[in-house]
Structure 1
């Protein structure tokens, strides 16, 4: 009787530990990121220019999924991103400095489906693989107060697909902390520069496939698992 009771307790603990990846569970996740950098360039000789460039980027990636079977979830993932670059610079003409402002901004968004499969390795941890794809759009703008500079606007659209391996740890039954360090992906993009008074419009197309792994791609996220029970 004691052995039977112990076995039932262990089975119940294992079932509770893996309940977050069982069929009927709702998966709510997201990542938030912000980065800022600053670079300074000093003139090396008279007549050259000095500048200081600052870059800021914000990114938010919400997702929602549903476990259609044990350890298998499907859903939608979106990505919202904005960036801004400022670069005031000084030009020297016969020793006389003139300072100008240059600024570029961009905003991008994407949405598409994903499929994620889990392989648990213990009561609170496991690995997963996520296959995602979708459609991206965006806009960019550059402007300056320098003489003869014309501001330009750009449009961006394209598609993507990527496979991302990850690790998940459950500090509580309903919260999963996720760690990824890159992905294997494909993209197909088109960038359109709108015409100005000084130049015609231009379309640039690009596509590629590659694997991107390493500490520079390290990403930490969190998800909420709302059980069906």
Structure 2
């Protein structure tokens, strides 16, 4: 009998601890790490019926500290700043060059949580972001510079998991977004796009939960 009562008490305590992680007034302070690598080989047919062999090696790294506050139960508003570095090497029969870029990002989002047992599930909601990139195209005989401003807005979808009372994990699953990009320098021009994206890179977020 006493064991059953103790089990009920422990279950209630565990449930309340998990619930407190996403209750109004809770806060998350965390960091997101991202890494993406790709090696693409493509053979293209030219107008003179010759074949151009293309090889592209791409690496992307990012880190983004962020903070969120639960304005209501299972509803938070988050802000974040980020830094990213990209490197792409192009090697074909007619062209060999390297493209690098350093980016600074800011983002604000509103997210609704849908959790099973207050521990695991998804979160989704609208976001607005801005990214400033400075890059270089490096050729064997010269180097050209470019800058770009990237504005985006849309709805994101994340996987979330709270393994303990004070620790949360998240991973982006995808998003739908509208974006406007303006570039100057060696890659001058503007671009508007509307995309449905499913994530193709590893981006893991780790949070410390406090405030409740």
TM-score by length of 1: 0.73
SS in 2 for 1:173: coil
Q: Which residue of 2 aligns with 1:13?
A: 14
Q: Name whichever structure is richer in strand by fraction.
A: 2
Is the CA contact 1:39–1:54 (under 8 Å) kept in the aligned structure 2? Answer: yes
Structure 1: which 5+ runs fail to align? 92-99, 195-201
Whether 1:120 and 2:121 are equivalent positions in the alignment is no
Is the CA contact 2:121–2:161 (under 8 Å) kept in the aligned structure 1? Answer: yes
Q: How does 1:195-210 map to 2 (within 5 A)?
A: 203-210=188-195
Question: Aligned to 2:185, which of 185, 188, 193?
Answer: 193
Structure 2: which 5+ runs fail to align? none
Root-mean-square deviation (CA), in Å? Answer: 3.4
Q: How does 1:1-229 map to 2 (within 5 A)?
A: 10-38=11-39, 53-87=56-90, 102-146=97-141, 150-194=142-186, 203-213=188-198, 217=200, 219-229=202-212
1:21 is displaced (CA, Å) by: 0.9
1:57 is displaced (CA, Å) by: 1.7
TM-score by length of 2: 0.78
Structure 1 residues 153 and 166: alpha-carbon distance in aligned structure 2, compared to 1, 3 A threshold: same
The count of corresponding residues between Structure 1 and Structure 2 is 208
1:4 is displaced (CA, Å) by: 8.8
1:23 is displaced (CA, Å) by: 2.2
